[in-house]
Amino acid sequence: MIGNRSIDRLSYLDPASPEPWASFLEQIDRVTPHLGSLSRWTETLKRPKRTMIVDVPVVRDDGTIAHYEGYRVQHTLSRGPGKGGVRFHPAVTLNEVMALAGWMTIKNAALNLPYGGAKGGVRLDPRQHSQGELQRITRRYTSELGGFIGPARDIPAPDIGTNEQTMAWMMDTYSMNVGGTATGVVTGKPVSLGGSLGRHEATGRGVFIAAREAGRRRGIPVEGARIAIQGFGNVGGIAARLFAQAGAKVVALQDHSAALVDEAGIDVPKAGEYVASHGHLAGFRPGAEVSPENFWLVPTEFLVPAALEGQLLPARAQRVETRIVVEGANGPTTPAADDVLNDRGILVVPDVLANAGGVTVSYFEWVQDFSSFFWTEEEINARLERIMVGAFDSIWAVAQERGVPLRTAAFIIACQRVLSAREQRGLYP
């Protein structure tokens, strides 16, 4: 049985990696000098508005009782209800959820979506649980969050280890508790339950759009480019498919089980089918399995970390052989590694822009649920393209004007929006 105290929190991270919340605080410190008179409000971003820790007890299929720790953090609510995913992973901690909620504040504001920032998680390994157990865990976690979430309060969505089914259970549990169907309480639901067409693919599609736009400005077309992707789940898997369809060569893939390299280009649809039936990438052929560390050394034009945070540390940043890093994951690059990449002339398209396609289509889903009027996939993809390209243009322009990296530019735009809202609303009482 997985006892949630016995999980090795840092098994996948370099011990030199700062905790995610420390990275977020440092990013806020870096943007503060650019905020003029609004900088007097930045302390508000260093203190999550609300933090909830819940016990999630469950009767397992063998009759034993297990307890898991769950979290929901609402980082800011100044611009609208909280919005952010729910992660089921054995390494989830409050510190990580706080950082992920903070990044949601920045992302939603950078894309000008009418939301604050929030995130949730339960520390468990979903692969060790039956569907029945996962359903009971999800329902109990949702009930424990009680009135904390809701279509006008805080709207969860999928993240690592959760999916459309998890969202359906969350929606049903919330609806049962309030006595009426409330589709808008979560996004990333099945299309048959008020989900949006295009939501499943949206984050990977956004990563692809961000890479394409960055490549354009650096004179590196996606067509013919070599790509390495860490994480072959929802984000990495869809992005890989779109890169391959656009004529790029996915030369390296890494998931929790293996790192695979094939200079001729990995057959992405076949790798997807393999993972769907085996649950992992290990054993897929053709291609050579390399050590996880060697994955970072494969020469590429685009490197896409799309798994977990804290993956690009200074030592790896010093050695990666790429031109553009496109952050599919949240928080994969530490501030110190950012500096190394910047010094080496490697462009970093930050998470708060690169992976914002998911929350953008979540916003479309929430709007469609309110009006009970649903758009076509073409409409969704066209609107997503417009918002992503618009956000990329504005962030690029600020980066050029001020001579700062794209991450700082995205934080400048986002913090200006969040802190102006904070100032205009005024402090209560």
Interface residue with ligand NAD among 70, 120, 161, 287 (CB under 6 A) is: 161
d(CA 303, CA 239): 12
- With contacts defined by CB under 6 A, name the span among 164-172, 251-259, 405-413, 417-425 that binds ligand NAD: 251-259
Q: Find the angle CA(314)-CA(320)-CA(326) to the nearest 5 degrees.
A: 90
> Does residue number 9 form part of the binding site for ligand NAD (CB under 6 A)?
no
Least Å distance between CB 207 and ligand NAD? 9
* Spatial CB neighbours of 274, under 8 Å, sequence gap ≥ 6: 281, 283, 284
Alpha-carbon torsion (14, 18, 21, 26), positive or negative: negative
> Does residue number 160 form part of the binding site for ligand NAD (CB under 6 A)?
yes
The pair of structure tokens assigned to 96 is 């990580």
- With contacts defined by CB under 6 A, name the span among 53-61, 250-258, 334-342, 415-423 that binds ligand NAD: 250-258
Q: In this complex, which beta carbon is closest to ligand NAD, that of residue 112 or of residue 143?
A: 112
Least Å distance between CB 203 and ligand NAD? 4
> Does residue number 165 form part of the binding site for ligand NAD (CB under 6 A)?
no
Q: In this complex, which beta carbon is closest to ligand NAD, that of residue 359 or of residue 419?
A: 359
The answer to whether 68 and 4 are in contact (CB under 8 A) is yes
Residue number closest to ligand NAD, CB atom: 233
Q: In this complex, which beta carbon is closest to ligand NAD, that of residue 74 or of residue 234?
A: 234
Q: In this complex, which beta carbon is closest to ligand NAD, that of residue 127 or of residue 285?
A: 127
Q: Find the angle CA(170)-CA(176)-CA(181) to the nearest 5 degrees.
A: 80
> Does residue number 203 form part of the binding site for ligand NAD (CB under 6 A)?
yes
> Does residue number 329 form part of the binding site for ligand NAD (CB under 6 A)?
yes
- With contacts defined by CB under 6 A, name the span among 32-40, 220-228, 306-314, 318-326 that binds ligand NAD: 306-314
Least Å distance between CB 356 and ligand NAD? 7
Interface residue with ligand NAD among 358, 364, 407, 422 (CB under 6 A) is: 358
Q: In this complex, which beta carbon is closest to ligand NAD, that of residue 352 or of residue 404?
A: 352
> Does residue number 214 form part of the binding site for ligand NAD (CB under 6 A)?
no
Instruction: Cite the active site residues.
Output: 119
With contacts defined by CB under 6 A, how many residues of the chain interact with ligand NAD?
Answer: 24
d(CA 402, CA 284): 46
Least Å distance between CB 88 and ligand NAD? 9
- With contacts defined by CB under 6 A, name the span among 17-25, 231-239, 282-290, 372-380 that binds ligand NAD: 231-239
> Does residue number 126 form part of the binding site for ligand NAD (CB under 6 A)?
no
Q: In this complex, which beta carbon is closest to ligand NAD, that of residue 233 or of residue 265?
A: 233
- With contacts defined by CB under 6 A, name the span among 215-223, 249-257, 336-344, 412-420 that binds ligand NAD: 249-257
Edge-to-edge, what's the strand order for the sheet holding 347-349?
Answer: 288-290, 259-261, 249-254, 226-230, 302-305, 324-326, 347-349
> Does residue number 158 form part of the binding site for ligand NAD (CB under 6 A)?
yes
> Does residue number 234 form part of the binding site for ligand NAD (CB under 6 A)?
yes
> Does residue number 183 form part of the binding site for ligand NAD (CB under 6 A)?
no
CA nearest neighbour of 410 among 210, 39, 110: 110
Interface residue with ligand NAD among 78, 196, 330, 334 (CB under 6 A) is: 330
> Does residue number 12 form part of the binding site for ligand NAD (CB under 6 A)?
yes
Interface residue with ligand NAD among 28, 56, 308, 340 (CB under 6 A) is: 308
d(CA 106, CA 96): 16
Alpha-carbon torsion (386, 391, 397, 399), positive or negative: negative
Residues lying near ligand NAD in the complex (CB under 6 A): 12, 158-161, 203, 230-236, 254-256, 306-308, 328-330, 355, 358
